[in-house]
Structure 1
């Protein structure tokens, strides 16, 4: 059981009541090993109202078809690759898909440049290996091996961060649905319900492009950035409120005004043009993702709560915005100062924001 002091419970714990309500109302066929039908999984992810009147909160705000394609892929024998720029909720979506489909989002391989093949295949308890030799007791299964044996979903985060030779350890798993253990003369065969969700982005440095053999074993779903400013404001508002509540920060009055300003700044710099389409602006080197906007505003909430009067103001978010935009101290600083002087300074109602950013 999850302790009440856990900062961020897993999705299946955090939304257990919703999952139970959806399961009780779900009368559609369920693929082998699934806890919910594909349509019910989409309802959990996108939100909606159940026949009995229970309201399901949306976990992902975006095109419905994207979620439907992702869920349908997992109902086949094809693995799913969620691809997108940083901050497009790839990890968030993969967690909630795993929570809804198999009730366990914890079978996770975190991809890094140092991820070893044992993280995907298996390792050994070397103390037992030296004393007993190769045995089932000495074997340390990876999250992927456990998912295969239990008929669950394995999650591979940041696939393109993993060295190519380690990535290719997934090929046999995904094509043959088996994982050989030659030291024991055995193999682990996947139980119905097993599949893999991987996430990747190709914007960061140090990317290891998957081999064509591995890519053929995935269906790729591209997660877009929020289509409109209002959609992004909705996403940011909801996540900031959730994070603020978990940190026991008081809900600030009129926070939507600052949220809207932060989102506007990020979108204009990201897209290289102002919201009215009249002025071209230079884009900085960073991605300025929705996730970064959430981080800036959460930091602003903490400043307002602990060092202000609780109301979120321009001065509370200015330092965070500058930190998010100015990643390169030379080129990005020029871009930011030009944006302040040509766009922000003369914008109606933004004088306080201009001063706060100049001070920061």
Structure 2
């Protein structure tokens, strides 16, 4: 299988639906670089301290406010950043919706200014996506040559001293995964067809993400796992923390889609997050009532999706204010993945928990109506 060498077509920053992190937060990265007087590893745009500040947020001496990209324990970010400054690769592990991809992208943007050296892991990811491929027209015309070779994102990162990213590593077939072993241990990528190799230059490292619910899909070999320092990203520790995460991300997505401001729906965001946490944990927030958990993950990412869809409904078919009816259908779709079992779980939760909350009457009616359609 060949790897296409078609160059990306870049949209103007103001037109891109989802700008890359280094574009969307260019002003913050520039301000951090200007204020950063700490030692920087080779080819890093920022020092480890500044990278951590970029992810966790803060206020710089000149008054520039750096917005948080990750809400969670500071130590987790510090360990992840420190790992990238060593010769060990970084594996971000966690359940769905714990911001693994988000953290990976922002780490790469802050470290090397380029988050696009990405291999997306799927069951069909070929070895060429990790190592290199060939332009078969040139290969047939010229034979094996550097001009006919199509470098993978990992090979480019090695040659340029940048950070490569591999998403959903455990979704990649095991034999393709293991093509990373030589790269991570010897810091070299042999090209036997040319009798050459690409050696990683200083600054190169790799960030991989994996869903810990994918265990058994394509388990990492012990040899490959030893090449990574694993950092587990936890679910948000508290309701307030998760509400903050959802509100921030919905606000960012809403601005790119010209949707109403998040404050108009803050009450509904809190309700959606509360429902997700209670069903996920199997107990109500006050600890008094046990509830059944549905089959889905009910991740923070799914809560963001439910609220964003609700804001779109409010903007285009309502008065612009997020109300219970706007989130009810999305909430039903997120909870009821198995029509038989999950629908019973949802109905029981509505009747035993939501119905009993005096200030949730409108929310209860909207959810009941959505479930009966």
Fold conserved (TM > 0.5)? yes
The answer to whether structure 1 residue 57 and structure 2 residue 67 are counterparts is yes
Alignment correspondent of 1:263: 273
Alignment correspondent of 1:108: 118
**Aligned partner of residue 92 in structure 2, secondary structure:** strand
Decide whether the 8 Å contact of 1:252 with 1:310 is kept in 2: no
C-alpha deviation, 1:206, in angstroms: 6.7
Report 1:62-211 matches (<5 A). 62-204=72-214, 207-211=217-221
Give the Cα separation in 2 of the matches to 1:207 and 1:296. Answer: 28
**Aligned partner of residue 198 in structure 1, secondary structure:** strand
> Structure 1 residues 240-249 or 252-261, which shifts more?
252-261
**Aligned partner of residue 179 in structure 1, secondary structure:** strand
Q: 1:304 aligns with which of 314, 327, 352?
A: 314
TM-score, normalised by the number of residues in structure 1: 0.99
**Aligned partner of residue 145 in structure 1, secondary structure:** helix
Decide whether the 8 Å contact of 1:161 with 1:206 is kept in 2: no
Could you list the runs of 5+ residues in structure 1 that have no partner in the other structure?
none
Decide whether the 8 Å contact of 2:190 with 2:197 is kept in 1: yes
Alignment correspondent of 2:299: 289
**Aligned partner of residue 80 in structure 1, secondary structure:** strand
**Aligned partner of residue 43 in structure 2, secondary structure:** coil
C-alpha deviation, 1:161, in angstroms: 0.2
C-alpha deviation, 1:250, in angstroms: 2.4
Call closer, same or farther: CA 1:279–1:205 in 2, change over 3 Å.
same
Decide whether the 8 Å contact of 1:2 with 1:13 is kept in 2: no
**Aligned partner of residue 220 in structure 1, secondary structure:** strand
The count of residues paired between Structure 1 and Structure 2 equals 360
> Structure 1 residues 119-128 or 242-251, which shifts more?
242-251
Q: Deviations over 1:65-104 (max 9, x none)?
A: 0000000000000000000000000000000000000000
Give the Cα separation in 1 of the matches to 2:246 and 2:50. Answer: 25
Q: Deviations over 1:271-290 (max 9, x none)?
A: 00000000000000000000
Give the Cα separation in 2 of the matches to 1:88 and 1:73. Answer: 19
C-alpha deviation, 1:253, in angstroms: 5.3
**Aligned partner of residue 326 in structure 2, secondary structure:** helix
Decide whether the 8 Å contact of 2:260 with 2:321 is kept in 1: no
The answer to whether structure 1 residue 323 and structure 2 residue 333 are counterparts is yes
Give the Cα separation in 2 of the matches to 1:330 and 1:269. Answer: 17
C-alpha deviation, 1:204, in angstroms: 4.3
Give the Cα separation in 2 of the matches to 1:49 and 1:190. Answer: 35
Decide whether the 8 Å contact of 1:82 with 1:197 is kept in 2: yes
Alignment correspondent of 2:3: none
Alignment correspondent of 2:7: none
Decide whether the 8 Å contact of 2:251 with 2:262 is kept in 1: no
Give the Cα separation in 2 of the matches to 1:19 and 1:167. Answer: 33
Which portions of structure 1, spanning 4 or more consecutive aligned residues, are displaced by more than 4 angstroms?
none
C-alpha deviation, 1:2, in angstroms: 4.7
Q: 1:335 aligns with which of 338, 345, 354?
A: 345
> Structure 1 residues 120-129 or 253-262, which shifts more?
253-262
Alignment correspondent of 2:48: 38
Q: 1:47 aligns with which of 33, 50, 57?
A: 57
Give the Cα separation in 1 of the matches to 2:222 and 2:109. Answer: 30
**Aligned partner of residue 294 in structure 1, secondary structure:** helix
> Structure 1 residues 195-204 or 263-272, which shifts more?
195-204
Give the Cα separation in 1 of the matches to 2:262 and 2:131. Answer: 48
C-alpha deviation, 1:37, in angstroms: 0.4
Could you list the runs of 5+ residues in structure 2 that have no partner in the other structure?
1-9
Give the Cα separation in 2 of the matches to 1:112 and 1:358. Answer: 38
Give the Cα separation in 2 of the matches to 1:50 and 1:308. Answer: 40
TM-score, normalised by the number of residues in structure 2: 0.95
Decide whether the 8 Å contact of 2:184 with 2:227 is kept in 1: yes
